Amino acid sequence: ALEADDEALIALLSEYHASEIAILFETLSQEARERIINILPLEIASEVISEMNVEIHPEKILNNLTPDKRTEIVEEMDYDDAADIISLLSEERQDEILEELDAEDASTIRNLLTYDEDTAGGLMNSQVLKVNSGLTKKEALEEIIRLSEEIEEFYTINVVDNYNHLVGIVSLKDILKSKHSVHIRELVKDDFVFVKANTDQEEVAKLLSQYNLTSIPVVDDEMHLLGRITFDDVMDVLQEENTEDMLKISGVSEDEELSGNWKEAVKSRLPWLILNLGTAFLAASVIRHFEPTLGQIPILAGYMAMIAGMGGNAATQALAVTVRRISLNDLTDSQAYSTVLKEFMVGMINGAVNGFIVFLFALLYDANPMLGFVIFSAMTGNLIIAGVAGSSIPLVLKRIGIDPAIASSIIITTFTDVFGFLLLLGLASELLL
Amino acid sequence: ALEADDEALIALLSEYHASEIAILFETLSQEARERIINILPLEIASEVISEMNVEIHPEKILNNLTPDKRTEIVEEMDYDDAADIISLLSEERQDEILEELDAEDASTIRNLLTYDEDTAGGLMNSQVLKVNSGLTKKEALEEIIRLSEEIEEFYTINVVDNYNHLVGIVSLKDILKSKHSVHIRELVKDDFVFVKANTDQEEVAKLLSQYNLTSIPVVDDEMHLLGRITFDDVMDVLQEENTEDMLKISGVSEDEELSGNWKEAVKSRLPWLILNLGTAFLAASVIRHFEPTLGQIPILAGYMAMIAGMGGNAATQALAVTVRRISLNDLTDSQAYSTVLKEFMVGMINGAVNGFIVFLFALLYDANPMLGFVIFSAMTGNLIIAGVAGSSIPLVLKRIGIDPAIASSIIITTFTDVFGFLLLLGLASELLL
C-alpha cells in the first residue's frame, strides 16, 4: 500500500483508528512512518504519535518533521503526551522545539517536564475539567460544555475555590439531577481521593484501581489543583510495572526494551549473568572441596545436577508467588511469618515426594539404599531451603524498602546450588565413604 | 476494635471506604468478617462483599448470612458481582440462594451464570445505560437521569433500536452540546468498538486499553445489547492475567491462589516439579554416559554446575522477554524470526564473555588451557542454545495456539541442562582424554 499515491493512502488509512495506525507503525520503516504522519489529518497524526509504543521512538518522528508541521502537531496533542514524547529528546533539542510553540503551551509543557516520569506529576495532564464552587448549576453546565471542546473526556469534575484550591469533586450526573437554583458548592463531595505530584505512579495505579476511579486529581502541597490522571494512563502504568517485575525476577534489567536490539539486550543482561557466574564459582568451590568423595562415588555427579536443578525450580516457584503477592498488597508481620512457614511446609512435602522417587531409582537402578537415603535427605533439605529463601528474601527486601523483584532467580538459585551441593556431598562423605 | 460494641464499631467503620474494609477483611477471622457484614449498612455491606479478594472467599460470608439479610445484600449488588460470587458456591446452593431472590433478579443472575467466567459474558454487567435512537434530546436526558439512579457510573450511553439492537453509542457530552430539537439518532456514533459475549476476557482488556475506553458494550450474534464491561473490571483482569503469566513462567499452576494454604500450593507445584524431575533424569543420564571422562578429570564436575546454572539463567532471561513481548502484541513472521536471531546473537556474546572469564580461571587456577578452551566453547554454545530455545519455544507455542507462558523455566532449563552437559563432557572426552 505504501507505493500508492498519497490520496489513496489517506483514503485507506481513514478506515483505521489512530491507535490501529500506531500499531501498524511497528511493522513499518521509519521513512514510511514519517511519510504517513505528514499526510494524515493533523488531529489523527497527533493521536497516532501519542499512541505509538515508546519502543518505536515517536520522538524521532517529531524530531524529523518540519518546524511548522511539528508545532501544529504538538499543539494538537494532550499536554501530558506532548511532554512525555518531548522528554525523550536531548535537552538542547527540547528547548528548540519548545521555542517554536506558542508561549503558553511551551510553559505548560516545560512545567510538566520538571516532574519525574515515574510520579503522578509525570503522568498527569494539566488540562483538567474544573469549575468554581460558586457557580450555579446553569453556569457550571455552560462552563463544562465550553471546556469539553478542549478536553476529550470528562469523567469527574473538579471543584476549586477562587485560589485554585481543590475543594472536592462533583459528577456530571449530580449536576444534571440537581434543582435549578443549586450552587455547585452544595453538590461537592469533599470526601474524595487525590494524589500529590510526587506520589509514585505505582501508588497512583493502586488507588485508582482500588477505588474504581476514572480519574484522580493531582495537587501540590497547598492543595492547588495541578492536573489529573486518567484510567487509561494508569492501565499503561500497570502493564509497564508488570513487565518490569517479570523481567527483574528473571534477571533482566527492568529498562530493557522488549523489542530492543541485541546490543541493548546484552547491556541489560550481561551484568546479571556475570553476577551469576560469581555465585557459580561459589557453588563450584563446594564441589571442588568434595572432589575426593566424587572421585570415589562418580555416580554422585548425575544426582548433583538433579538436586541443583530441582532446588532452583522450587525456589523460582516460591519466589514468583511471593513477589507477585507482595507486589499487589503489603503483608502484616504475621502474614509474612505464615508465608515463610507455608513455603517451609511446601518445600518439605515436595522435597520428600521427589526425594522418594529418586530414592527408589537409587535403590532399584544403583542398588544402593544408603545412597538413596542420602539423596532423599539432600532433596528434601534443598527444597526446604528453596522455599524459605524464595519467600523470605523478597519479604525482607520489601521491609527494608528494596524492590522485592530484585531477588531474582539468579540470587535465589545461588542458595539452592550451594546448599544442595553441601547437603548431598557432605552427607555422602559422612555416610557412604 | 472488634471487642467494642456494635455501635462503636459502626462509627469506626463509617470512616472507611468499602474497598478499604474489604482489604481490612484480609487480616480478620471469618467470624469477625461476618459480624461486621451483619452490622454494616446494606449498601456498604454489599459493596464490601463485591470488593473482597476472591482468595478470602466472599461466597462464604454470603452463604452464612440469614436468608433475609442475604437477599437484601444480593439485591443491592451489581448483577455481575452477584453472579461472580454466587458462581463460587455449589450448584445446589446457587439454586437455593437464587430461589430466595425476586424473580427478575434471579433470572438475570441465572443468565449471567451461564457464561464462562473468562469471557466477556462472564465479565459484563447486564445493567446498562441505553436509550432508544428515536428519543429527542430532552427525553433522552430524562431517561439517562432516571436510569442513573440504578446505575452507579455512566461513561458511555448505548443507543438501541426498538428491538434492542445496538446501533451505536453517544456521549453525554454530545447530547448536552446538541441543539434542543435534535433526535438521538442524529448524534449516534456508529463507528464504535463492541465485543461478543464469548470473546476472551484478555481480548476485551486489549481492546479497552487500546482504544482508551471507559466501557465496552457486549452483544450477541444478532447485535442484541446484552450488557457492558467497565474499565475497573478490566483492570482486575489485567492484574489477574499478569499474575497467571508470572506464575506459569515460573512453573506454578496459574490457578494457585497467592495467599492459599500449603495444601493448595503443593497441589499446584508438585506436578511441575515431578515433570522437572523427569527431565532431570534425562540430564543425569547424559552425565552417567560420560562417567569415565568425569572419573579421569574430576574437576569437570564443578564446571558442569557452572555451565548448567548459567544456561538456565540465560534461558530464563530470553524466555521472560519473549513471553512478555508476545503477551502484549502478536508478532509478524519477520519479527519472530528477528527475535530468535537477536537471542542467538545475545547468547553468543554473553556466552563468549562469561566463557572467557571461566577460561582465564581454568588457565590461571587449573593451569590447563585446553580445559579452558573446552569450557569456553561449552559456555558459548549453551548460552546460544539458551537464547534460541528461550525465544523460539514460546513463539512456536503462540503460533499453534498454546499459551506461550506454559513454556516455563522448567521446560527451558531441560534444554540447557542436557545440551550443556553434552557439550562440556563431549568436548572434554574428545579433547582432553
**Ranges A59-63, B34-38, B145-149, B348-352, most confident:** B348-352
Alpha-carbon span B272 to A371, nearest angstrom:
25
Provide the pLDDT for residue A214: 86
Each residue's pLDDT tens digit, A259-275: 888 999 999 999 999 99
Mean per-residue pLDDT for A73-95?
A: 91
Q: What is the pLDDT of residue B4?
A: 58
Amino acid symbol at B415: F
Instruction: Tell me what pLDDT residue B409 has.
Output: 82
| Mean residue pLDDT across chain B | 90
Question: Helix and strand tally (H, E) in chain A?
Answer: 21, 6
| pLDDT greater than 70 at residue B258 | yes
**pLDDT score at B153:** 66
Contact A417 B277 (CB under 8 A): no
Give me the percent of chain A exceeding a pLDDT of 70: 98
Residue from the list A238, A281, A305 with its beta carbon closest to the beta carbon of B284: A305
**pLDDT exceeds cutoff 60 at A216:** yes
Instruction: Provide the pLDDT confidence category of residue B425 given band limits of 50, 70 and 90.
Output: very high
Is the pLDDT assigned to residue A23 strictly greater than 90? no
pLDDT value at B1 more than 70: no
pLDDT band at A183 (very low <50, low <70, confident <90, very high): very high
For B239, the closest chain A residue by CA position comes to A238
Q: Show the cell assigned to A160.
A: 476549586
Of B214, B332, B361, which has the smallest distance from its Cβ to A27's Cβ? B332
pLDDT at B14: 85
Q: pLDDT tens for residues A242-256? A: 888 889 988 898 888
Choose the mutation target among B324, B341, B343, B354 for the interface with A, i.e. most A CBs under 10 Å.
B324
Contacts of A374-378 spanning 24+ positions with Cβ under 8 A? A374/A424, A374/A427, A374/A428, A374/A431, A374/A432, A375/A303, A375/A306, A375/A307, A375/A424, A376/A352, A377/A423, A377/A427, A378/A307, A378/A420, A378/A423, A378/A424, A378/A427
**For A341, nearest residue in chain B (alpha carbons):** B262
Chain B partners of A410 at a C-beta cutoff of 8 Å? Answer: 313
- The H-or-E segment that residue A216 falls in is strand A215-219
- Exposed / middle / buried, residue A400 (Cβ in 10 Å: 0-12, 13-18, 19+): exposed
> What pLDDT score does B332 carry?
86
Q: Does B172 or B263 have the greater pLDDT score?
A: B263
- Closest CB from B250, B283, B343 relative to A320: B250
Rounded to a whole number, what is the distance in Å from the CA of B284 to chain A's nearest CA?
4
Reported as a pLDDT band with limits 50, 70 and 90, residue A154 is low
Contact flag A154-B148 (C-beta cutoff 8 Å): no
Given a cut of 90, whether residue B389 has pLDDT beyond it is: yes
Segment holding A215, helix H or strand E: strand A215-219
Q: Under a CB-based contact definition with an 8 Å cutoff, are residues A273 and A68 in contact?
A: no
Measured between CA atoms, how close is A64 to chain B, in angstroms?
25
User: Does residue B369 carry a pLDDT above 60?
Assistant: yes
Domain at A262-431: CATH code = 1.10.357.20
Which residue out of A235, A279, A357 would a mutagenesis test of the B interface target, given it has the greatest number of B Cβ atoms within 10 Å? A235
Assign A44 a pLDDT band (cuts: 50, 70, 90): very high
At B401, list the grid cell.
Answer: 495456539
Q: Is the per-residue pLDDT at A2 higher than 60?
A: no
In this prediction, residue A357 carries a pLDDT of: 96
Q: Which stretch of DSSP H or E encloses residue A192?
A: none
Instruction: Grade residue B206 by pLDDT with cuts at 50, 70 and 90.
Output: confident
Measure the CA dihedral B68/B73/B77/B82, to 10°. -70
- How high is the pLDDT of residue B427? 96
Structure confidence at residue A309 as a pLDDT band (50, 70, 90): very high
CA angle B167, B220, B51 (to 5 degrees): 100
pLDDT at B152: 64
Residue B40 burial by CB count (10 A; 0-12/13-18/19+): exposed, middle or buried? buried
Q: What is the CATH number of domain A6-114?
A: 1.25.60.10
Q: Residue B106 pLDDT more than 60?
A: yes
Contact list in B for residue A277 (CB cut-off 8 A) is 306, 310, 354, 357-358
Give the closest of B154, B238, B284 to A173, CB-based.
Answer: B154
Residue-level pLDDT at B358: 96
SS3 readout for chain B: CCCCCHHHHHHHHCCCCHHHHHHHHCCCCHHHHHHHHHHCCHHHHHHHHHHCCHHHCHHHHHHHCCHHHHHHHHHHCCHHHHHHHHCCCCHHHHHHHHHHCCHHHHHHHHHHHCCCCCEHHHHCECCCCEEECCCEHHHHHHHHHHHCCCCCCCCCEEEECCCCEEEEEECHHHHHHCCCCCEHHHHCECCCCCEECCCEHHHHHHHHHHCCCCEEEEECCCCEEEEEEEHHHHHHHHHHHHHHHHHHHCCCCCCCCCCCCHHHHHHHHHHHHHHHHHHHHHHHHHHHHCHHHHHHCCCHHHHHHHHHHHHHHHHHHHHHHHHHHHHHCCCCHHHHHHHHHHHHHHHHHHHHHHHHHHHHHHHHCCCCHHHHHHHHHHHHHHHHHHHHHHHHHHHHHHHCCCCHHHCCHHHHHHHHHHHHHHHHHHHHHHHCC
Cβ of B250 within 8 Å of Cβ of A421? The answer is no
Smallest CA-to-CA distance from A391 within A320, A312, A334, A333 is with A320
pLDDT above 90 for A322: yes
Mean pLDDT, rounded, for A65-70: 91
> What ipTM did this prediction achieve?
0.82
Q: Please report the pLDDT score of residue B285 as a whole number.
A: 94
Note whether B324 contacts A177, CB cutoff 8 Å: no
According to the model, what pLDDT value does residue A176 have?
83
Mutate to test the interface with A, among B277, B304, B383 (most CBs of A within 10 A): B277
Residue in the structure block whose three cell numbers are 488509512 = A13
Q: For chain A, what is the mean pLDDT?
A: 90
**Residues B301-344: pLDDT tens digits?**
999 999 999 999 999 999 999 998 888 677 888 889 999 999 99
Whether CATH 3.40.630.30 fits A130-230: no
Cell numbers placing B4:
467494642
For residue B3, is pLDDT > 60?
A: no
List the single residue in A145, A256, A309 with the smallest CB-CB distance to B276.
A309
Inter-chain residue contact A234 with B236, CB threshold 8 Å: no
The residue-averaged pLDDT of B65-74 equals 92
- Determine whether the interchain pair B154/A144 forms a contact, defined as Cβ–Cβ distance below 8 Å: no
What whole-number distance in Å separates Cα of residue B383 and Cα of residue B324?
20
Secondary structure class of A159 (helix, strand, coil): strand
pLDDT value at position A153?
66
**pLDDT (0 to 100) of residue A11:** 84
**pLDDT value, residue B98:** 92
**CB-based contact B294 A291, cutoff 8 Å:** no
Judge contact between A100 and A112, C-beta under 8 A.
no
Q: How confident is the model at residue B232 (pLDDT cuts 50, 70, 90)?
A: confident
Nearest-by-Cβ selection for A247 from B277, B320, B413: B320
CB A305 within 8 A of CB B417: yes
Q: Assign B181 a pLDDT band (cuts: 50, 70, 90).
A: confident
Tell me the pLDDT tens digit for each residue of B44-56.
999 999 999 888 8
- B212 band by pLDDT with thresholds 50, 70 and 90: confident
Mean pLDDT of A96-112: 90
| Chain segment B283-307, per-residue pLDDT in tens | 999 999 999 999 899 899 999 999 9
**B6-114 and B262-431 share one CATH topology?**
no
Residue A273 Cα, gap to closest chain B Cα (Å): 7
A369-411: per-residue pLDDT in tens? 999 999 999 999 999 999 999 999 999 998 888 888 887 788 8
- The answer to whether B51 and B22 have CB atoms below 8 angstroms apart is yes
- In 3D space, the residue among B257, B215, B250, B249 whose CA is nearest the CA of residue B235 turns out to be B215
What is the pairing mode between strands A157-160 and A166-170?
antiparallel
Q: Cβ–Cβ contacts within 10 Å for residue A154, how many?
A: 18
CA-based nearest distance B111→chain A, Å: 25
Domain limits of chain B?
A: 6-114, 130-230, 262-431
Partners of residue B329 in chain A, C-beta under 8 Å: 23, 26
Q: Which range has the top average pLDDT, B94-108, B347-361, B405-419?
A: B347-361
* CB-based contact A251 B317, cutoff 8 Å: yes
Greatest mean pLDDT among A6-10, A373-377, B263-267 lies in A373-377
Report the gap between the CA of B95 and the closest CA in chain A (Å): 31
How large is the average pLDDT for residues A113-141? 89
Q: pLDDT band at B2, cuts 50/70/90?
A: low
For B64, the grid coordinates are: 452464612
- Tell me the mean pLDDT in the region A77-92: 90
Q: Give the per-residue pLDDT at A136.
A: 92
A131 SS3 class? strand
Neighboring chain B residues of A137 at a CB cutoff of 8 Å: none
Is A303 in Cβ contact with B305 (below 8 Å)?
Answer: no
**Average confidence (pLDDT) over B150-162:** 80
Check residue B421 and give its pLDDT.
Answer: 95
Closest chain A residue to the Cα of B338, Cα to Cα: A261
Half-sphere exposure of A388 (CA within 13 A, CB side): 14
Q: Among partner residues A27, A245, A314, which is closest to B246 by beta-carbon distance?
A: A245
Q: How many CB atoms lie within 10 A of CB B34?
A: 15
More confident position, B195 or A11 = B195
Q: Which of B176, B316, B328 sits opposite A251 (nearest CB)?
A: B316
